[in-house]
């Protein structure tokens, strides 16, 4: 049934597009036409396109259009226009994001200007929803109706958003910049993970303002924001934000995208120096406190609908008493369950807010029309998107809530559990995102059996589950109680989809980044999380929630519990582990771009430590089953795996056990990187003992192996992407340098005069690690000629060296068939 058959669609009210905005859209259209005609390269068009909020997709030839929704506020009229455009030019589906935007996917470039005009006619834009600009300004979806708020932050969020939109100050920042506002201590907008976070505050004399934090962010290097101003008066709000942006614009890293966010500026300067720079920027921009004029707020019409019928004031079957109108969860009707989980009382008597749970943020154009219609008939025509990828309708008379539920049910919009643990957050992942590694949406659907909607027990009521398809944390997995992000792991000739499990993240109370606990194959994640919940219920203290349990139990205990779920069978034994959730073909790692050698080396190290953990797990099982001699062998293999992992930092991949122990002793142990008791490993673990090993001997070997693996883990956890290991004690006498390979004169190309480092035959990422170590022994300005194989080596190593800050002066083939290349690199002091 079409939307037209089911709903009488009101005419969409439009306004003429202001000339300046029309010119902006026409400029985009002209460049898009030139690109489609081949007059402008796709690479040249890309940054221009991103500035306008248009992303390329994983699928070639189509775009994702991101519609900016400041503070999540959208009217019924605007939502109808989005539905119309989704129907005509996209897939008839909209996606609500964790920044309260709405995205349309699979849009042809030729249709993008039409969408821009349609949005502009109803006061919406895609401008600066992407690119190195100030992204959408977010705020709590209950702002203005929350019972615990200090004041309504809505007009301040709107004022900030439109003040910075198209502002020359932030059109070409080093990287994206995010702002969020919360009205109460619950901090629903998650201010600590933003570049600027604003939390409503009130002084003793009643003056309102904001507690301002700066420098938060997630991604591959998550950081929590720090307090910049305990109290920011309203007249100083915009200048304070502008000054932060100015410092970021001036000092942000524009050479290395991976180090470009503002959190890295703070990390480099130190927060005290950053604050000093901010104060200087504030003064230099012409702001002299306290002579600012009052802030000119943009208003947002959000008046209540009249209460036609008297409310029951908490009595009778329609009351919102939080437990299903007096019934236990097991005896609830579908409506009672939905009301318990999806409806909250407003601070205004007689009114409630109803959350519409959107599965992973998706809703069809028909559902958009339904939501728009219901918002006008039951409330005041205003809707808000949430950072948990849902929509809410506010100002609903409490007496009308059951009727609203009935109408939502007809459109498949009455699922319970909105904003709770069962409301799993997932980014688009490999469905559409070009950076996605795994199918985060597929895993979210699989986890629906672990966390069934509306039936999750009370002891998990404050738990959150978030899934990102890569390390970029678009689903904010770092701050979730249970967070997962997708990676690939090569096992022999095949690659299996995996997820890194992060536990214990939170932003309310004391903000905390979740700890990366273990790497799980995608197919084992539901079983692993079920076991995690079982362990929690088995070992928890009275009234202890999951977050507190995770903190008390600690990473190592939980890792030990989950190690059995990390084991992946061989492809011939169970090929399903090598398929992603809902995948129809064997999992492969898409080409996500060169220059990630350091990440590859870190992954080799992580995988080596995980292998050691798995060997220790088997050793423990074997001891418990009285197979002592085999257990000793597993303890030995654990030591060997951890030692090999450590040697990756030296660019080594020894082929024999003996070579591994010799190199480990000279390059790692003798430098004091691990405790002295782990020197001369071959003498201590090489003897596997007699066939009739005793239980005591097996346990001693296992204890030694576990101590060694833990020491290696501790050393690598302190290591950054520079792959440098720090000594844990006074280092021993300097280790004799291993002689480098003798320079070999190039056959065909002209000599560069630099020493040659022949790494032909050395695979990624060890070729990069070896080059990195060689450069560390050289002085700034010296040059090194590196010989590399064609394929991944020549593609990845030069880019990784550039990312490290070195200069790549030459890159050319060594022979006509281009099987090998040489790269001339000049060391730059870090």
Q: Residue 293 above 50 pLDDT?
A: yes
**Band of pLDDT at residue 291, cut at 50, 70 and 90:** low
- Contact predicate 485/500, CB 8 Å: yes
pLDDT of 777-799, one tens digit each?
Answer: 788 888 899 999 888 888 888 88
C-alpha distance from residue 664 to each of 635, 639, 640, 704, 763 (Å): 17, 11, 10, 16, 20
Rounded Cα distance, 28 and 191, in Å: 33
pLDDT of 219-249, one tens digit each?
Answer: 878 899 999 999 999 999 999 999 999 999 9
Instruction: Pinpoint the alpha helices (H) of 503-545.
Output: 525-539
Phi, psi of 3 (to 5 degrees): -55, -35
From the list 544, 563, 556, the residue with the least C-alpha distance to 503 is 556
- The whole-number pLDDT of residue 327 equals 37
- The whole-number pLDDT of residue 810 equals 85
- The whole-number pLDDT of residue 598 equals 65
C-alpha distance from residue 703 to each of 401, 517, 686 (Å): 61, 21, 15
130 is catalytic: no
**Band of pLDDT at residue 509, cut at 50, 70 and 90:** low
- The predicted model gives 706-720 an average pLDDT of 86
Rounded Cα distance, 421 and 485, in Å: 17
**Band of pLDDT at residue 366, cut at 50, 70 and 90:** very high
Q: Residue 312 above 50 pLDDT?
A: no
pTM over 0.75: no
Rounded Cα distance, 341 and 326, in Å: 14
Q: For residue 609, how many C-alpha atoms fall within 13 Å in the half-sphere facing its CB?
A: 24
Enumerate domains of the chain plus CATH numbers: 145-301 (3.30.413.10), 425-578 (3.30.413.10), 597-717 (1.20.120.330), 756-826 (3.30.110.40)
From the list 474, 467, 533, the residue with the least C-alpha distance to 500 is 467
Mean pLDDT score of the chain: 86
- The whole-number pLDDT of residue 326 equals 35
Q: For residue 39, how many C-alpha atoms fall within 13 Å in the half-sphere facing its CB?
A: 6
- The whole-number pLDDT of residue 656 equals 81
- The whole-number pLDDT of residue 776 equals 76
Q: Residue 290 above 80 pLDDT?
A: no
> Of 86-90, 136-140, 508-512, which range is least confident?
508-512
- The predicted model gives 483-487 an average pLDDT of 92
- The whole-number pLDDT of residue 330 equals 58
- The predicted model gives 166-173 an average pLDDT of 87
**Band of pLDDT at residue 745, cut at 50, 70 and 90:** very low
- The whole-number pLDDT of residue 191 equals 95
Q: Strand pairing of 138-139 and 179-182?
A: parallel
Please tell me whether residue 393 adopts helix, strand or coil conformation: strand
Q: Residue 688 above 90 pLDDT?
A: no
- The predicted model gives 821-827 an average pLDDT of 90
Rounded Cα distance, 705 and 802, in Å: 39
**Band of pLDDT at residue 522, cut at 50, 70 and 90:** very high
Instruction: Spot the catalytic one: 427, 433, 474, 764.
Output: 764
- Give the relative orientation of helices 555-562 and 525-539 as an angle to the nearest 10 degrees: 130
- Contact predicate 597/796, CB 8 Å: yes
Q: Residue 497 above 70 pLDDT?
A: yes
- The whole-number pLDDT of residue 287 equals 59
Q: Residue 437 above 70 pLDDT?
A: yes
Q: What are the E-state strand segments in 68-101?
A: 73-75, 93-96
pLDDT of 12-70, one tens digit each?
Answer: 999 999 999 999 999 999 999 999 999 988 877 888 899 899 998 888 889 999 999 99
pLDDT of 373-429, one tens digit each?
Answer: 999 999 999 999 999 999 999 999 999 999 999 999 999 999 998 888 888 888 888
Q: Residue 194 above 80 pLDDT?
A: yes
Whole-angstrom Cα Rg for the chain: 29
**Band of pLDDT at residue 8, cut at 50, 70 and 90:** low
């Amino acid at each position: 049934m079409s939307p037209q058959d089911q709903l009488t669609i009101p005419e969409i009210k439009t306004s003429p597009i202001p000339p300046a905005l029309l010119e902006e859209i026409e400029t985009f259209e002209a460049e898009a036409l030139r690109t489609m005609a081949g007059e402008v390269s796709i690479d040249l068009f890309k940054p221009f396109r991103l500035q306008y909020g248009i992303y390329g997709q994983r699928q070639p030839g189509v775009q994702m259009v991101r519609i900016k929704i400041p503070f999540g506020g959208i009217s019924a009229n605007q939502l109808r226009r989005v539905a119309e455009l989704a129907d005509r030019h996209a897939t008839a589906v909209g996606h609500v994001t964790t920044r309260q935007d709405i995205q349309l996917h699979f849009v042809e470039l030729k249709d993008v200007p039409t969408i821009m005009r349609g949005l502009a006619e109803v006061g919406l834009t895609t401008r600066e929803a992407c690119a190195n600009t100030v992204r959408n300004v977010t705020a709590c979806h209950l702002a203005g109706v929350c019972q615990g708020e200090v004041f309504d932050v809505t007009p301040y969020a709107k004022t900030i958003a439109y003040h910075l939109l198209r502002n020359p100050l932030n059109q070409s920042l080093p990287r994206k910049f995010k702002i969020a506002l919360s009205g109460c201590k619950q901090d629903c907008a998650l201010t600590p993970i933003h570049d600027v976070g604003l939390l409503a505050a009130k002084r003793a004399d009643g003056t309102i303002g904001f507690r301002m934090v700066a420098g938060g962010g997630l991604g591959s290097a998550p950081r929590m924001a720090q307090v910049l101003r305990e109290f920011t008066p309203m007249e100083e709000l915009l200048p304070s934000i502008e000054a932060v942006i100015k410092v970021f614009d001036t000092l942000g890293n524009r050479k290395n995208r991976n180090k470009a966010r503002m959190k890295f500026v703070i990390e480099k300067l130190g927060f005290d120096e950053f604050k000093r720079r901010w104060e200087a920027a504030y003064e230099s921009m012409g702001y002299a406190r306290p002579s600012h004029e009052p802030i000119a707020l943009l208003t947002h019409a959000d008046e209540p609908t009249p209460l036609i019928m008297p409310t029951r004031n908490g009595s009778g079957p329609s009351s919102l008493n939080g437990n299903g109108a007096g019934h236990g969860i097991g005896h609830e009707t579908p409506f009672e369950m939905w009301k318990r989980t999806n409806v909250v009382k407003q601070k205004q008597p007689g009114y409630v807010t109803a959350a519409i749970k959107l599965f992973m943020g998706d809703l069809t154009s028909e559902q958009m029309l339904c939501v728009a219609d219901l918002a006008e008939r039951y409330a005041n025509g205003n809707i808000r998107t949430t950072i948990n990828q849902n929509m809410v309708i506010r100002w609903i008379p409490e007496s009308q809530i059951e009727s609203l539920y009935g109408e939502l049910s007809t459109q498949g919009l009455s699922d319970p559990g909105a904003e709770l643990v069962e409301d799993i957050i997932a980014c688009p992942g490999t469905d559409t995102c070009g950076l996605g590694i795994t199918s985060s949406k597929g895993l979210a659907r699989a986890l629906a059996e672990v966390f069934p909607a509306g039936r999750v027990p009370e002891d998990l009521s404050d738990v959150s589950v978030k899934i990102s398809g890569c390390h970029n944390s678009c689903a904010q997995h770092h701050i979730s109680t249970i967070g997962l992000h997708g990676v690939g792991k090569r096992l022999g000739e095949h690659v299996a989809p995996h997820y890194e499990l992060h536990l214990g993240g939170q932003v309310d109370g004391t903000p905390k980044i979740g700890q990366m606990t273990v790497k799980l194959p995608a197919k084992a994640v539901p079983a692993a999380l079920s076991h995690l919940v079982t362990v929690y219920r088995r070992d928890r203290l009275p009234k202890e929630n999951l977050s507190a349990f995770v903190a008390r139990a600690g990473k190592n205990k939980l890792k030990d519990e989950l190690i059995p779920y990390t084991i992946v069978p061989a492809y011939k034994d169970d090929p399903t582990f090598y398929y992603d959730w809902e995948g129809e073909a064997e999992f492969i790692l898409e080409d996500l771009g060169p220059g990630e050698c350091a990440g590859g080396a870190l992954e080799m190290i992580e995988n080596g430590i995980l292998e050691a953990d798995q060997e220790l797990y088997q050793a423990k099982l074997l001891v418990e089953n009285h197979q002592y001699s085999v257990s000793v062998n597993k303890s030995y293999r654990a030591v060997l795996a951890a030692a090999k992992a450590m040697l990756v930092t030296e660019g080594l991949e020894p082929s024999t056990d003996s070579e591994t122990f010799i190199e480990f002793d000279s390059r790692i142990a003798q430098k004091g990187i691990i405790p002295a008791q782990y020197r001369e490993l071959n003498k201590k673990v090489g003897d596997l003992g007699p066939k009739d090993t005793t239980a005591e001997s097996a346990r001693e070997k296992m204890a030694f192996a576990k101590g060694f693996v833990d020491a290696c883990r501790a050393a690598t956890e302190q290591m950054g992407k520079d792959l440098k290991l720090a000594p844990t004690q006074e280092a021993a006498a300097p280790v004799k340098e291993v002689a480098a390979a003798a320079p070999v004169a190039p056959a065909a190309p002209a000599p560069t005069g630099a020493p040659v480092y022949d790494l032909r035959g050395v695979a990624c990422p060890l070729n990069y690690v070896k080059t990195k170590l060689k450069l560390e022994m050289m002085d700034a300005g010296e040059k090194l000629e590196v010989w590399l194989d064609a394929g991944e080596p020549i593609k990845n190593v030069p880019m990784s060296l550039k990312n490290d800050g070195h200069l790549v002066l030459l890159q050319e083939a060594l022979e006509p068939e281009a099987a090998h290349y040489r790269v001339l690199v000049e060391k730059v002091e870090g």
